[in-house]
């Protein structure tokens, strides 16, 4: 991943993906307090005016048309929606139907998912121009939302998995994601023993590498090109929000990708 800046706004981007996209940090916005400063989601105490200004700044940095932005209302599900720019419902994510992933092949449509420890995943097919964005908490990861997002692109747009470029953004790393046994059990129920190398026992707990598991989910469906961010949200609270580190007193990062059409 490379770090890009637009004025004070800072985000990570993948060298694999050649359409406008980015994984935001918390830097470069106008929000204050526990949402300081580039909070992209309304509902944790921030004002809608601040969120709109932050999204406007992001749209200039990436760039994309705010009127063509489609968001998720996330529920830690495996629901994937096929959308176009006509699905834009404004700049509040609460106005959108529930889902945790979006795909489109409509040029100019921008997709946005939200995270603050969970795993953001962006997909791009250079042949058809189709793009996807997914939010994978541990439940979504165990439900194979990464693979289901890819499969939706295959079914809806004729995407070939071997052509897809995937980027997995900042999340809570294995160094901080300590869980009970239900998380490894759920992952092994879906992926089998192939995930065992990404689960490390720690006393009576387990430390899980969710980036690696989501990368595995994509590769087992035929994706060859996968890039992972090295950033851990819990390790760098000055750059990212971490739900665990702040005990829920935080804003939301985003992962955005813009459909540019086929190359």
Both tokens of 235, joined, read 């390790």
**Backbone dihedral angles phi then psi of residue 101, each to the nearest 5 degrees:** -155, 150
pLDDT at residue 44 in the model: 84
CA distance 40 to 257: 15
pLDDT at residue 181 in the model: 96
Alpha carbon distances (Å) from 227 to 8, 14, 168, 257: 25, 7, 6, 15
CA distance 233 to 243: 9
CA distance 174 to 158: 35
pLDDT at residue 45 in the model: 86
Whether 4 shows a pLDDT value over 90: the answer reads: yes
Quote the percentage of the chain above a pLDDT of 90: 96
CA distance 22 to 152: 22
Listed residue (214, 198, 89, 199) closest to 149, CA to CA: 214
Element holding 53 (H helix, E strand): helix 48-61
**pLDDT level of residue 43 (50, 70, 90 thresholds):** confident
- Helix intervals (H) in 130-235: 138-142, 145-157, 182-191, 210-219
**Contact, 17 vs 23, CB < 8 A?**
no
Q: Are strands 253-258 and 110-115 parallel, antiparallel or unpaired?
A: antiparallel
CA geometry: angle 60, 131, 224, nearest 5 deg: 120
Residues 146-173 as b or e (16 or more Cβ within 10 Å = b): bbbbbbbbbebbebebebbbbbbbbbbb
**pLDDT level of residue 261 (50, 70, 90 thresholds):** low
Q: Which domains does the chain have, with CATH numbers?
A: 2-258 (3.60.140.10)
What's the whole-number mean pLDDT along residues 221-248? 95
pTM, whole model, 2 decimals?
Answer: 0.97
Whether 263 shows a pLDDT value over 70: the answer reads: no
The per-residue pLDDT of the chain, averaged, comes to 96
CA distance 37 to 28: 6
3-state secondary structure of 243: helix
CA distance 133 to 103: 7
* 50-105: pLDDT as tens digits: 999 999 999 999 999 999 999 999 999 999 999 999 999 999 999 999 999 999 99
pLDDT at residue 262 in the model: 53
* 114-159: pLDDT as tens digits: 999 999 999 999 999 999 999 999 999 999 999 999 999 999 999 9
């Amino acid at each position: 991943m490379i770090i890009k800046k637009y004025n004070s706004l800072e985000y990570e981007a993948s060298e694999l993906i050649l359409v406008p996209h980015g994984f935001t940090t918390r830097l470069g916005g106008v929000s204050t307090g526990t949402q300081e400063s580039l909070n992209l989601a309304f509902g944790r105490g921030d004002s809608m005016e601040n969120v709109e200004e932050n999204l406007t700044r992001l749209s200039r940095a990436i760039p994309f048309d705010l009127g063509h932005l489609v968001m998720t209302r996330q529920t830690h599900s495996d629901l994937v929606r096929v959308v176009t720019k006509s699905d834009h419902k404004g700049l509040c994510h609460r106005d959108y139907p529930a889902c945790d992933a979006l795909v489109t092949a409509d040029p100019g449509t921008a997709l946005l998912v939200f995270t603050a420890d969970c795993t953001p995943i962006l997909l791009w097919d250079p042949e058809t121009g189709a793009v996807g964005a997914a939010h994978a908490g541990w439940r979504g990861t165990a439900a194979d939302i990464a693979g289901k997002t890819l499969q939706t692109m295959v079914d809806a747009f004729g995407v070939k998995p071997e052509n897809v470029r995937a980027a997995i953004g900042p999340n809570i790393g294995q160094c901080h994601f300590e869980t009970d046994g239900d998380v490894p059990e759920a992952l092994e129920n879906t992926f089998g023993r192939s995930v065992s190398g990404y689960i490390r026992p720690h006393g009576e707990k387990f430390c899980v590498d969710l980036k690696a598991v989501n990368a595995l989910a994509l590769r087992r469906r035929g994706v060859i090109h996968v890039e992972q961010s090295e950033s851990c949200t819990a390790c760098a609270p000055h750059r990212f929000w971490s739900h665990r580190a702040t005990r829920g007193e935080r804003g939301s990062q985003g992962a955005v990708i813009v459909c540019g059409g086929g190359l």
